[in-house]
Structure 1
Amino acid sequence: MDIATAPTRDELVRRASELVPLLQKHASWAEENRRLPDEVVEAIADAGLLRLRVPARYGGYECDTRTVVDVVTELARGDASTGWTFAVWSICSWLTGLFPDEVQDEVFATPDVRVSGLLSPGGAATPADGGLTVNGRWAFNTGALHSEWNSIVAMAPTPDGAGQWPVLALVPVSDLEIVDDWHTSGLRASGSVTTVARDLFVPMRRVLPMGPVLQEHYASERNAATPVYRTPMLPTAATSTVGTVLGLARAAREVFFERLPGRKITYTAYESQREAPITHLKVAKAAALIDEAEFHAHRAAALLDHKSAAGEEWEIEERARIRLDLGCAYERAKEAVDVYNSASGASSVYTSVPMQRIARDAQTLNLHAILHPDTNYELYGRVLCGLEPNTLYI
């Protein structure tokens, strides 16, 4: 497929927007059953959205980061768990594009393939003839219930045998044991279960050392000159998720204003909440917070897209600023959700009102280790003070 024939950003965002009513319709069932409905997964595939980060030679679109952010935002406006899971699939499709070309041929041979995964080491790998034998367990494995492949990270001996380093491996989900332990307060429908590997052999072609990957030394030859596949891994992966919290903030705004007409403020003289000055102050503050969140999210995406297109080297401060932008976006969006939630009245605690789910999902997202605002502020502050980052994930 020629990349020139790929849909535009506006077209892809429109397709995602058209799915919002379907996602809203199934959101309660999905939360109760702690997984995405098959109908939702199929609709995402039918819309062509799983191809956003697939190489053009396999029928993919090779979309830039801003497009991913905008599509995720729309999906999360319908349901945050769907938006988050889709973001993970987009990230892992991109990660697959970093592997040797023969591995990509294997994975992308399945149309609209879904690749899930995570970046934290959860296992140990030992050398075996032609590859590694992996044992371990990986919690928070979003998308595993609906995926064909899974990217996992394990600690393996370095080539000289003197130490250990993390390696990224692609494995069929069918080779993993699934532990149904995703009982949570937020993002319940993401089905982010634990997966387990027991003496799992992984051929060396499907193994990438994380050290070189974190420094943009990728294994694919055919993708080497493609801007989308030469961005830094951690900023790319983290920024791809930020649309989830933007979509939640927009959803909170929509739910609030849908319920506003006819509502009064109980135990006050206000027969119409819409006429109360406190409401005006609240909704104006929330609007400003959403604007701030979108500014930071879009600035992060713009930097990734600009530098990848130009082929420029990355400075440490630029990498850290991506983390800062994401921390700001997540925090500001959650604050906006909190404003709408607190102004929604006691009736919003009923499970039939989406606001309570939106608030729980926003809280959950802000606890993510890579996205936690305080962690990201500290990282950027260290760099501004001339200190080395205290993490490899930058």
Structure 2
Amino acid sequence: MNAMSRQGTAVQSNEFTEVELMMRARGLAELAWKHREETESTRRIPRVVIDALFDSGLPRLGTSRRMGGLEGHPLTLVEVGRELSRGSAALGWLYGLTVGHQWYLSFMSERFQQEVRDSKPGLIVDSLVPAGQVEPADGGFLLSGHWKFVSGVEWCSWAGLAVVAKLPGRTEPEPLVMFVPADKLKIEDTWHTVGLRGTASNEIKLERVFVPLHRIFALARFAADGKPQGEVSEPGTLYKLPFMAMAAIQLCYPALGAAQRVIEEYAAWTKKRVRAYEHTAAKEAPYSQMTLADATVKWDAARALMLQYVRDAWEAAEAGQGVPSPEERARMFGQRAFITRTCAELTNQLFLDSGAMSLFETSAMQALWRDVNAASMHMVLSRGDALTSLGRTQMGLPGHHFA
């Protein structure tokens, strides 16, 4: 079923049709699936898959046409991400970060946009928890610090690193993201994790690296007011979407796509599985049938919610509604948390019912189980914070800052 065509929405691209984009995503997903054991053992997506991702043009879906991108409709962005994640949650995660970063690059200085476009492969990574210190310098700052969870750092051209500082002309310090070229980064290989191993989300240390003012973005200010901080305002609806609504949904489809693969793997395994002792076909067991059906409709609901989330955000942007209200933001936070937690819960149930053979490292089920749960743990997907935030705003109280 093609949700985008069903809505009558064409891909906004000068180069590819929707069908071509999805075919590219499907081919990449299968390539990543074939290399899943290498991904697990090396704790990084294999180079052949990384190269194929950037050669595909898919990461340019969030980039404006003016800057050489595809400027895709967000329904296309999320469906491509889901399909990639069906082959590798880590690949979908990296794609989502790339698309999200290229999108918000469009609100930055023209000079930095050009620098990113001229760099290869042009991948921006970031760590948005302030963990640095700055010293004022002529034309910018000297940046030092230690940042964690920098997904994709070993393949990047630039890293955006969060810090709290006062820009020239401002009266108070504020959260900023300072962008540093890859050759200035000191990477520490610390990503020994249960899930999402292929993202190579390692750590960065810097010591007094100069960052000029044109490579600094007041991200929290942009999230609050939606106003571009560069010289050019992109005219497309894609660049009228609220920051958190657009950026955070890119972290939902890794769990959704991987959970889709879990359902497929469970069905394929159960069809051929013979239960020990009873020597009966597992596919004949009513509980297995019910478990599969239950997971399938829950997955359908999660996907439908993701697509509706995107449609709602798009329609609001087209209508010129601007920055969402606190309750609208909290509701979207709750929806994101529901999507990923639903995927984790249905994955857990299928894993538990798949039998002890799924415990072995050679089983795809155990790797998928780890990845779906890991992909659901990001702080902008936290169910506790999301539902508390929504409940508070419904009571007229301030919500969570990740909403």
- Scaled to the shorter chain, the TM-score interval is over 0.9
Find out whether 1:236 has 2:246 as its counterpart.
yes
Find out whether 1:256 has 2:275 as its counterpart.
no
SS at match of 2:272: coil
User: Which of 255, 270, 281 is matched with 1:245 structurally?
Assistant: 255
- Which amino acid counterpart does residue 84 of structure 1 have in structure 2? W
User: Which of 162, 165, 170 is matched with 1:156 structurally?
Assistant: 165
Distance in 1 of aligned mates of 2:343 and 2:13: 35
Instruction: With the length of structure 2 as denominator, give the TM-score of the two structures.
Output: 0.92
- Which amino acid counterpart does residue 232 of structure 1 have in structure 2? P
Query: What's the RMSD between the two structures over aligned residues?
Result: 1.7
Tell me if the contact between 1:72 and 1:241 (Cα under 8 Å) persists in the aligned partners: no
Question: Which residue does the alignment assign to 1:324?
Answer: 334
Q: CA deviation at 1:9?
A: 3.1
Find out whether 1:81 has 2:90 as its counterpart.
yes
Deviation string for 1:227-279 (max 9, x for gaps)? 21222222211101211111011110111122122312224x46111111111
Deviation string for 1:306-343 (max 9, x for gaps)? 22233222222221111111000011111111121111
Tell me if the contact between 2:13 and 2:72 (Cα under 8 Å) persists in the aligned partners: no
Question: Which residue does the alignment assign to 2:368?
Answer: 358
- Which amino acid counterpart does residue 49 of structure 2 have in structure 1? V
Tell me if the contact between 2:106 and 2:234 (Cα under 8 Å) persists in the aligned partners: no
Gaps of 5+ in 2: 1-11
Question: Which residue does the alignment assign to 1:117?
Answer: 126
Deviation string for 1:332-358 (max 9, x for gaps)? 111111121111100011111111011
Distance in 2 of aligned mates of 1:202 and 1:348: 49
- What percentage of aligned pairs have identical amino acids? 28
Question: Which residue does the alignment assign to 1:305?
Answer: 314
Q: CA deviation at 1:18?
A: 1.2
Tell me if the contact between 1:71 and 1:243 (Cα under 8 Å) persists in the aligned partners: no
Tell me if the contact between 1:88 and 1:116 (Cα under 8 Å) persists in the aligned partners: yes
Deviation string for 1:278-314 (max 9, x for gaps)? 1111011101210121122122211222222332222
- Which amino acid counterpart does residue 313 of structure 2 have in structure 1? L
With over 3 angstroms needed to count, the CA separation of the structure-2 counterparts of 1:259 and 1:326, relative to structure 1, is: same
User: Which of 341, 357, 363 is matched with 1:347 structurally?
Assistant: 357
SS at match of 1:152: strand
Q: CA deviation at 1:184?
A: 0.6
* Larger CA deviation: 141-150 vs 213-222: 213-222
Find out whether 1:279 has 2:275 as its counterpart.
no
Deviation string for 1:3-37 (max 9, x for gaps)? 65232333212210111221011111111111111
SS at match of 1:125: strand
SS at match of 2:396: coil
Question: Which residue does the alignment assign to 1:218?
Answer: 228
- Which amino acid counterpart does residue 250 of structure 1 have in structure 2? Q
SS at match of 2:400: coil
SS at match of 1:5: coil
Question: Which residue does the alignment assign to 2:108?
Answer: 99
Question: Which residue does the alignment assign to 1:16?
Answer: 25
Gaps of 5+ in 1: none
Instruction: With the length of structure 1 as denominator, give the TM-score of the two structures.
Output: 0.94
With over 3 angstroms needed to count, the CA separation of the structure-2 counterparts of 1:226 and 1:111, relative to structure 1, is: farther
Question: Which residue does the alignment assign to 2:48?
Answer: 39
Deviation string for 1:94-113 (max 9, x for gaps)? 12111111211111123652
Tell me if the contact between 1:50 and 1:113 (Cα under 8 Å) persists in the aligned partners: no
Equivalent pairs counted in the alignment come to: 390
Deviation string for 1:344-374 (max 9, x for gaps)? 1000111111110111111212221111122
SS at match of 2:62: coil
With over 3 angstroms needed to count, the CA separation of the structure-2 counterparts of 1:197 and 1:230, relative to structure 1, is: farther
Tell me if the contact between 1:242 and 1:329 (Cα under 8 Å) persists in the aligned partners: yes
